[in-house]
Homo-oligomer: A and B are copies of this chain.
Amino acid sequence: MPDIRALFFDVFGTVVDWRSSIARETEILLHPFNGGIDWFAFADAWRGEYQPAMTEVREGRIPFCKLDVLHRKNLERILPRFGLGSVPEDVLVNLNRAWHRLDGWPDSAPGLTRLKRKFMIAPVSNGNISLMVALARRNGFPWDAILGSEIAGDFKPKPRVYLAACEALDLKPSQCMMVAAHPSDLVAAAACGLRTGFVARPNEHGPGKGAKPPAGPVDVAATSLEDLATKLGI
């Protein structure tokens, strides 16, 4: 694939391990209010509200807003289910910022550093710019730019998000590759004309839970971002 100029990355699950990080952060902040919670179940419940919340925006029922705003609404929706109906506002604010404190998979920073030698690299995530900047600073992700939902004004898998990223770099979709652990993201990117790179993240939903294989043909399939770099000739 000699004409690929830019790699776009899904972030939650593909570049960072949201589940372990959210379980850790929520336990630290909420244990004083309820010590009997399965914090992985809490993380899964919070993440479970993610797609339905974005659908409200995608289908035009509410205007576009930063993912931080949706995370906060989703948090308020699930807290009562865990017997956490009266957490103070300052704790809620800090808790919502847990999404700014996610850890990368071990191969992410070194893999991105290698990939940047040959390609422009940018997140094309549903996360907002400030969230992406926080994750990059925390983990040493050397992005060339922060693209994704906030510059597009919509959420993946809407075509506008992929196309806005290509346009920001003056590239045709065929010169860009979407890299993700999630088949639905790759299917949507391919429909816009982008190349696709699948990265297996079998532990995203917990050890041994497995990961969905790509739903259709992909241009490259890798086991990590380091492996992706090797397979792209770096």
Contacts and interface: CB of A to CB of B under 8 A. Distances in A.
Interface of A: 68, 120, 128-130, 132-133, 136-137, 142-147, 150-151, 168-170
A137 B168 CA distance: 16
B168 A150 contact: yes
Contact of A132 (B129, B132, B136, B145): B145
A129 B68 CA distance: 24
A20 B144 CA distance: 25
Contacts of A133: 120, 144-145, 169
18 contacts: A120-B137, A129-B145, A129-B147, A129-B168, A129-B169, A130-B170, A132-B145, A133-B144, A133-B145, A133-B169, A136-B144, A142-B142, A145-B145, A145-B146, A146-B146, A150-B151, A150-B168, A151-B151
Across the A-B interface, give the 7 residue pairs with the lowest CB-CB distance, nearest first: A145-B146, A129-B168, A130-B170, A133-B144, A130-B169, A133-B145, A129-B145
A102 B121 CA distance: 21
A10 B144 CA distance: 18
A133 B145 CA distance: 7
Contacts of A144: 133, 136-137, 146
A162 to B, nearest CB: 15
A130 to B, nearest CB: 5
Contacts of A168: 128-130, 150
A145 B168 CA distance: 13
A207 to B, nearest CB: 33
A33 B147 CA distance: 40
